[in-house]
């Protein structure tokens, strides 16, 4: 990854894609005790954030709140400049459609639908059309994800890596403007991890990036994607991410860019940069 | 200081009593039970209103996806249950209707056959037995499916893809079960009436088919058709809303799916019986 191309600058004067102001973040399910306090975070268009933290630090909750899937306990939350807490119904749905999310464990595929149907469902739902109308598009996405061989399989037959890949393709097929990825490399073998890093490099650099070419229909592929990744291993992301944040002690902290993260003296950052401990 | 510690101890006692799995007294037990049912009823009413809102506001949204789901639910809750309903209708016709017809004829009250048939089969047994079949065969599957999907985080995945879970999962089931229970009830009533006459015929009851069906036609009023449609569709809606509510409304662990399935069945059955009692009042007022 050392030959990564220079990243294009985000458009000037564009409002942040996501903005959290003094937000208290809790898990869903009616939890009232925050896992993170006083989070103030702005994600600019075209940026690539990597949020590091040990397991249990609140990464998933932060990402789900930023994506509008959970509501913050306190504080302001704006998505594409609109106050999400004040919106309801179709306006909220419309904003959320501009956000893609790839979950961590199990990738949360629909267990009763095949891989093909998992990818086609959101396209058919939002396009109000039958499968025939999106068949070419779905085939293109299956190809982009190297999933053609599994098209008719139910998710239960796939291993974790392939399942997560289906979840990524399913999210990308809706051509979101910002993509949240919750620990996408966790438990992947080196070959799968390399595929992910290659694809995300392509998304982060826009059309100037190298193949794989992705079958976007609208303008989603013309600009660099806004990407937010949560991870407990910063190592693989150092060359790819542009801004880094740390979650520790119920707090969110902006660590800075690549230079700052690689030279950070904070032992918590060093711990996340170190290779995972192996059994002796 | 002593007063303060006493108050703290009192609060701790109350909390411990509420958390205790065993009730401390009968009033405690009844109180808990009432609070639980009140809370569930409130949640259920809110869920039903949300479903109604989505049904009305999204009637033209994603029709290419939702209409096939409604058809699938009608097939699942209606068409595939037809053999079971036909068997029960036949059995009920032989056991109850045939014997009633034979007895009434024996005591010379064959002119009451129509009234008894309409009261027992059309108004009561038809809708109730059909609802029970749909509850046991489709309602159970609904809670398990939705509860498992909830426990595995598939509902959040739907939301993340901008798909309204109520629109995609609940609305097709409510419409499908309402139509299915109504249609199955009609088939059940026809089956019971025909098999009942067959039983009476086999017992050499001196009642001509023309007389039998004429009496039925005379006993039926237009209100019976309207109320039958409302009642059977109402049972379908009750079963769908309660099973979907128990499966979806709150976060679940996989181990809890069996618990909410039992809860949904009991709640659906009780609500159907209560709805039946409500319709009985309407029939009595006619």
Please list the pLDDT of chain A residue by residue as tens digits (280 residues).
333 444 444 555 678 999 999 999 998 777 788 999 999 999 999 999 999 999 989 999 999 999 999 999 999 999 998 888 788 777 888 888 899 999 987 789 999 999 999 999 999 999 999 999 999 999 999 999 999 999 999 999 999 889 999 999 999 999 999 999 999 998 888 899 999 999 998 888 876 555 567 778 766 556 678 999 999 999 999 989 999 999 999 999 999 999 998 898 888 989 898 877 665 5
pLDDT digits (tens, 9 = 90+) for B11-36: 666 666 666 666 667 787 888 888 88
Pairing of strands A99-102, A82-83: unpaired
> Do the domain assignments include residue B145?
yes
> Do the domain assignments include residue B207?
yes
Q: B214 — phi, psi (to 5°)?
A: -65, -40
Q: What is the pLDDT of residue B17?
A: 62
Pairing of strands A48-53, A226-231: parallel
Distance in angstroms between the alpha carbons of the first and the last residue of chain B: 69
DSSP characters for A148-171? GGGTTS-GGGS-HHHHHHHHHHHH
> Do the domain assignments include residue B49?
no
Q: How many domains does chain B have?
A: 1
Beta strands in chain A (DSSP E): 18-25, 36-43, 48-53, 74-79, 82-83, 99-102, 178-182, 226-231, 243-248, 251-256
> Which residue is closest to A64 within chain B, CA to CA?
B160
Q: Give the separation between CA A20 and CA A75, rounded to whole angstroms.
A: 7
> Do the domain assignments include residue B31?
no
Q: What is the pLDDT of residue B14?
A: 65
**Residue in B63, B154, B164 closest to A93 by CB:** B164
Q: Give the separation between CA A219 and CA A222, rounded to whole angstroms.
A: 5
Q: What is the pLDDT of residue B99?
A: 80
| Sequence-distant (≥ 6) Cβ neighbours of residue B26 within 8 angstroms | none
Q: Give the separation between CA A226 and CA A256, rounded to whole angstroms.
A: 17
The overall longest dimension of chain B from CA atoms, in Å, is 91
B85 burial (CB, 10 Å; 0-12 / 13-18 / 19+) is: buried
Show the domain range for B245. Answer: 63-285
What are the angstrom distances between the C-alpha of B235 and each of A185, B49, B184, B277? 49, 17, 12, 12
Preferred mutation among B69, B152, B162, B171 to probe A, highest tally of A CBs within 10 A? B162
**Residue in B152, B159, B168 closest to A106 by CB:** B152
> Which residue is closest to B160 within chain A, CA to CA?
A101
> Do the domain assignments include residue B11?
no
CB contacts, 8 Å: B152 with chain A: 106, 108, 111
> Do the domain assignments include residue B229?
yes
Provide ipTM, 2 decimals: 0.87
C-alpha triplet A131, A207, A257: angle, nearest 5°: 115
Q: Give the separation between CA B17 and CA B148, rounded to whole angstroms.
A: 32
**Residue in A93, A122, A129 closest to B64 by CB:** A129
CB-CB contact of A230 with A182 (8 Å): yes
> Which residue is closest to A98 within chain B, CA to CA?
B162
CA-derived radius of gyration, chain B:
24
Q: What is the pLDDT of residue A180?
A: 96
> Do the domain assignments include residue B10?
no
Residue B68 distance to chain A (closest CA, Å):
10
Q: Give the separation between CA A249 and CA B113, rounded to whole angstroms.
A: 79
> Do the domain assignments include residue B195?
yes
């Amino acid at each position: 990854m050392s030959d990564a191309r220079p990243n294009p600058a985000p458009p000037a004067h564009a409002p942040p894609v996501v903005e959290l102001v003094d937000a208290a973040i809790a898990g869903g399910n009616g939890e009232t005790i925050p896992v993170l306090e006083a989070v103030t975070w702005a994600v600019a268009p075209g940026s690539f954030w990597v949020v590091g933290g040990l397991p249990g630090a609140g990464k998933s909750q932060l990402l789900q709140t930023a994506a509008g899937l959970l509501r913050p306990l306190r504080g302001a939350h704006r998505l594409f400049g609109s106050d999400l807490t004040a919106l309801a119904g179709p306006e909220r749905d419309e904003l959320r459609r501009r956000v893609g999310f790839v979950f961590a464990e199990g990738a949360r595929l629909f267990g009763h639908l095949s891989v093909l149907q998992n990818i086609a469902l959101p396209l058919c739902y939002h396009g109000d059309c039958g499968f025939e109308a999106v068949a070419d598009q779905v085939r293109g996405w299956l190809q982009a994800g190297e999933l053609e061989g599994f098209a008719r399989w139910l998710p239960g037959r796939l291993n974790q890596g392939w399942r997560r890949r289906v979840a990524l393709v399913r999210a990308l097929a809706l051509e979101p403007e910002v993509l949240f990825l919750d620990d996408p490399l966790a438990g992947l073998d080196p070959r799968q991890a390399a595929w992910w890093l290659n694809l995300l490099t392509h998304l982060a650099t826009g059309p100037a990036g190298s193949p794989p070419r992705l079958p976007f229909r609208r303008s989603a592929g013309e600009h660099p994607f806004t990407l937010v990744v949560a991870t407990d291993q910063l190592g693989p992301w150092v060359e790819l991410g542009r801004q880094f944040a740390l979650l520790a002690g119920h707090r969110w902290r902006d660590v800075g860019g690549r230079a700052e993260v690689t030279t950070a003296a904070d032992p918590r950052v060093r711990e996340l940069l170190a290779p995972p401990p192996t059994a002796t | 200081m002593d007063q303060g510690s006493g108050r703290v101890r009192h609060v701790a006692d109350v909390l411990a009593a509420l958390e205790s799995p065993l009730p401390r007294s009968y009033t405690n037990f009844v109180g808990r039970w009432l609070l639980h049912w009140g809370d569930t009823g409130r949640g259920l009413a809110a869920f039903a209103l949300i479903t109604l809102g989505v049904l009305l506001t999204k009637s033209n949204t994603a029709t290419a996806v939702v209409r096939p789901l409604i058809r699938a639910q009608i097939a699942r809750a209606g068409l595939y249950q037809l053999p079971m309903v036909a068997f029960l209708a036949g059995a009920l016709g032989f056991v109850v209707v045939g014997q009633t017809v034979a007895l009434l004829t024996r005591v010379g009250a064959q002119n009451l056959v129509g009234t008894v048939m309409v009261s027992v089969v059309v108004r009561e047994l038809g809708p109730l037995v059909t609802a029970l079949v749909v509850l046991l065969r489709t309602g159970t599957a609904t809670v398990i499916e939705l509860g498992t999907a909830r426990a595995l985080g598939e509902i959040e995945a739907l939301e993340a893809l901008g798909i309204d879970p109520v629109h995609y999962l609940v609305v097709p089931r409510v419409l499908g079960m309402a139509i299915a229970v109504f249609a199955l009830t009609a088939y059940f009533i026809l089956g019971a009436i025909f098999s009942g006459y067959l039983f009476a015929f086999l017992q050499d009851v001196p009642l001509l088919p023309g007389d039998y069906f004429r009496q039925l036609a005379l006993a039926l009023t237009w209100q019976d058709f309207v109320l039958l449609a409302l009642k059977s569709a109402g049972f379908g809606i009750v079963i769908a809303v309660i099973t979907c509510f128990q499966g979806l409304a709150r976060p679940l662990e996989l181990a809890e799916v069996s618990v909410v399935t039992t809860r949904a069945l009991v709640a659906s059955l009780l609500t159907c019986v209560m709805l039946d009692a409500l319709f009985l009042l309407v029939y009595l007022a006619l």
